[in-house]
Amino acid sequence: MPITPYLKGKVFPPEETRAMGIAFEQACRSLGLVDKSDPLTEIIAAKIIELAHRGEHDPERLCARALSAYQPPVGRSHGEERSKESDRK
């Protein structure tokens, strides 16, 4: 899932945009996010963009710091929450 739709007019050099994209894809995979309209997807994208704007350009650190900003309920990952919700439907 590309990060570019979440940039909302902000312009970064190509290498920084690439690093953000890598971090965003890793974070989304880690959380089991596949839906662009999921509010958590937007939160993760916004956090990565904010961190890059502040000067962080390493994809691994961008991903780790964005994930640390999201704390799922104890004992559950975001993907587990989604699968339990779909089981109930």
Q: Which 3 state secondary structure label does DSSP give 78?
A: helix
Q: What digits encode the pLDDT tens for the residues 15-64?
A: 999 999 999 999 999 999 999 889 999 999 999 999 999 999 999 999 99
pLDDT at 14 (0 to 100): 96
Q: Classify residue 3 by its DSSP letter.
A: S
pLDDT at 17 (0 to 100): 96
Cβ neighbours around 29 below 10 Å, total: 13
pLDDT at 51 (0 to 100): 97
